[in-house]
Amino acid sequence: MPKKLDHTAAIAHLASIDRKLGRIIAKVGPCGLQPEETQNLFESLMEAIIYQQLNGKVAATITARVKALFPENTHRVRTRHGLVAGFPTPQQILAATPERLRSAGLSQAKMLAIRDLAAKSLDGTVPTLREAHQLSDDELIERLTTVRGIGRWTVEMLLIFRLSRPDVLAVDDYGVRKGFAKVYRLNQLPKPKQLMAYGERWRPHRSVACWYLWRAAEMKDLPEPGAAGKTERKGSATRKTVAKAKKPSA
């Protein structure tokens, strides 16, 4: 099992440097961001590809069907629910025909993406888990986004939830942007560049900041973006908040 992370220092820093985010932290309580178990990056990315743009239940069904295509695979993974079938290996994916992979419910695009992932895992483009821990966030993003169907957002989710990288700011994530707009009472979602500039103050704990922004996006007692700016000219709240990124908040 992954080692449980202690976010006490991160919470203290974020609350001291950003009072508005600090109020969300106080309301939500301790950070629940903990690493998910990872056998290797191939399996994590394969699962991410399958789950893209699908309902969780549907994606889980397709994932189980893909695993079932390889009864010769004796690999089993121990989870809290017991031993379950593991993912096929890159070699098994490449040995399977496209038709066989599609029979599990994979779209043409996802089937091609998984085959490309398998090929790049074998040629070393996709590092092993041990190698990944030696690479920087930017190096992993650069290498993994060469895989078909893998974009920056997917790698950032891998960095946060699988590799426990502490300082990832997912500026393209809708939930992060919505949470930011709700916390700072903006008329519209911030642009990624604006969010990146403001988030500089959260270093080196931007992954934890993302987690709290996700929680803020779910809060029913916070106004939706635009609801708090009826008396202000459209966009002014966004510019005002972003402008403050040039200096730390008291």
Would you call 173 a catalytic residue per the annotation? yes
DSSP one-letter code for 244: G
Q: How far apart are CA 245 and CA 179, in angstroms?
A: 17
69-83, 119-133, 180-194, range with the lowest pLDDT = 69-83
Same domain, 178 and 204: yes
Q: What is the pLDDT of residue 185?
A: 94
- Asked whether residue 141 is domain-assigned, the answer is yes
Residue of 110, 117, 115, 95 whose CA lies nearest to 62: 110
Does 217 fall in a domain? yes
Q: Provide the pLDDT for residue 4.
A: 84
Output the domain CATH number for residue 241. 1.10.1670.40
| Identified catalytic residue from 137, 138, 167, 173 | 173
Question: Which residues on neighbouring strands pair with residue 76, listed in sequence order?
Answer: 85
Q: Tell me which H or E stretch contains 107.
A: none
- Distances in Å between the Cα of 192 and the Cα atoms of 169, 220, 242 are 10, 24, 11
Q: Could you say which DSSP state residue 165 is in?
A: -
Instruction: State how many domains the chain has.
Output: 2
pTM for the model stands at 0.84
Distant-in-sequence, close-in-space partners of 230: CB < 8 Å, separation ≥ 6: none
| DSSP state letters, 197-217 | HHGGGGTT-HHHHHHHHHHHH
